[in-house]
Amino acid sequence: MCFFMVSCGQQDNETFHEIHALIEKSNYFAARDLFNQQRHNLSARNQLVIGAVLDNAFNRNNLSQEKTNRLLDKYHLLPDTLLSAIYAIRQDNAVKLHQYREAAKADSIRLKDFGETLSETQKKDIQNNLKLWSALSDVPPQQVSVQGETFLKLEKDMAGLDNITVSAGGDTLGFIFDTGANLSTICLSVAETMGMHIIPSEILVGSITGEKVPAQLAVCRQLKIGHIAVDHVVFLVLPDEQLTFPQIGYKIRGILGYPVLEAFGEIQITRAGTMVIPVNHSKFSGPSNMAMDGLTPLICLEGNPYTFDTGADHTMLYAAYYTDNKNEVEACCELEKIQFGGAGGVREFDGFVIDKTFNISGKEISVEGIHLIKEKIKESETVYGNIGQDVMGQFSKMILNFDKMFILFE
């Protein structure tokens, strides 16, 4: 998120700058710790600004929205750049609360009142998002009903990705379970078969390669998963060919993304291939080690932010990791071409293939042959990498809790 550094005294300015620098790197974990330590050095206004960002990052969206309300009500002479950032936070909170009309309103205000503070890339992204949320403005908020504890068998498809059984419109299919998907996604033919309401739109969505691909929208009146029913589920709809990989005879029918998974409250995944959605959540002590960067979940490993993706077979490291470990990497590895892809095609980057040991939950997890991309895949990239199943699968159980925002590995 764009941020504006507000000067209210030297100590306030210095502390704000330090926290702001961490937030710019998506390291909300270190930013939270520093904020808790240095809160007394910040003005009341800057406490609200940073508090709104951190509440948003740690899935306390109603609290974040309250802080932005107080900022807008109490401080009438805020700089345009800061106001634009506040409305960006309001938009993200509204999306996560499934208040699509409010999300569209916040985007509209940014474009109309603060367009001069935005880059051309930001304007295009906001204009695209405005089309998306405006198209959904009459869709009721997503709702979840839990009738009991749910046990689901994770079935590997031919690409090695975990699928769970979902039902809608009298049809039952396997959808990929993917924490890395910002929104749930479905191919057009399956959306039609499941009787979803297609909303024609002209939006572009980002793919794993950083490319933009055209998409429509669909709303599923009710999606059933075990003993859980989720109403008014929003899907991105891609043409079948965008989710088909003829070279291996493989087709993605649907992907369950973050908004549906978050609605479950807690998910437990076992190495034996079972997903448990419990009624009673696990206990956790200590600060949250999971945060949200927009609709992308982050995990804190060794003090640094990574995305984690149950839909990714292999872990991948990014430019931020390379920058911090450049000498070590170049001393042991030769530069080569790294190729990867997904919906939107295949791209090739300069990079390395390295071995790495992660310290997770007090256990050393070694992974060989990790692809390290030397350059940024997309301009907004800040995290160190993406954790895939090759790391997660070395534990007997992984617990994701979206209420208290923690990840436990057992």
Task: Please give the pLDDT value at position 407.
Answer: 94
The answer for residues whose C-beta is within 8 angstroms of residue 148's C-beta and 6 or more apart is 227, 279
Instruction: For tokens 């059933």, name the residue.
Output: 224
The model's pLDDT over 139-156, given as tens digits with 9 standing for 90+, comes to 999 999 999 999 999 998
Indicate if the pLDDT at residue 7 is higher than 50. Answer: no
Q: pLDDT confidence of 208, banded at 50, 70, 90? A: low
Q: Quote the longest CA-to-CA distance of the chain.
A: 63
Residue 38 pLDDT: 94
Q: What is the mean pLDDT of the chain?
A: 91
* Other Cβ atoms within 10 Å of 347 Cβ, number: 17
Which pLDDT value is given to residue 343? 52
C-alpha distances out from residue 254 to 33, 37, 187, 238, Å: 38, 44, 6, 10
Q: Where are the domains of the chain?
A: 10-135, 143-265, 290-409
Burial label, 344 (beta-carbon count in 10 A; 0-12, 13-18, 19+): middle
pTM assigned to the model: 0.90
Q: What percentage of the chain reaches a pLDDT higher than 90?
A: 73
Q: What is residue 33's predicted lDDT score, i.e. its pLDDT? A: 97
Q: Which stretch of 5-14, 157-166, 310-319, 345-354 has the lowest confidence by average pLDDT?
A: 5-14
Which fold is adopted by the domain 290-409? Cathepsin D, subunit A; domain 1 (2.40.70)
* CA 369/CA 61 separation, integer angstroms: 39
Most confident of the following: 64-68, 200-204, 364-368: 64-68
Q: 168 falls in which pLDDT band (50, 70, 90)?
A: very high
- pLDDT category at 242 given cuts 50, 70, 90 is confident
Domain covering 143-265 in this structure, CATH number:
2.40.70.10
pLDDT > 70: percent of the chain: 94
Which CATH entry fits the domain spanning 10-135: 2.115.10, 3.20.20, 3.40.30, 1.25.40?
A: 1.25.40
For the segment 81-116, what is each residue's pLDDT rounded down to a tens digit?
999 999 999 999 999 999 999 999 999 999 999 999
Q: What is the pLDDT of residues 356-394, one digit of tens each?
A: 999 988 889 999 999 999 999 888 899 999 998 889 889
Per-residue pLDDT, 270: 92
Sorted by sequence, the CB contacts under 8 Å of residue 273 that are 6+ apart come out as: 153, 154, 155, 156, 162
pLDDT at 2 over 80: no
Query: What is the reported pLDDT for 160?
Result: 81
Distance CA 21, CA 382 (A): 12
Same CATH fold assignment for domains 10-135 and 290-409: no
- Residue 209 confidence class, pLDDT cut points 50, 70, 90: low
Scanning the structure block, which residue is given the tokens 């935005």? 118
- Do residues 407 and 289 touch, judged by C-beta distance below 8 A? yes
pLDDT for residue 258 is more than 80: yes
Q: What pLDDT, in 10s, does the model give residues 12-64?
A: 789 999 999 999 999 999 999 999 999 999 999 999 999 999 999 999 999 99
Q: In angstroms, how far is CA 112 from the centroid of its own chain?
A: 27
Output phi, psi for 99, to 5 deg: -100, 80
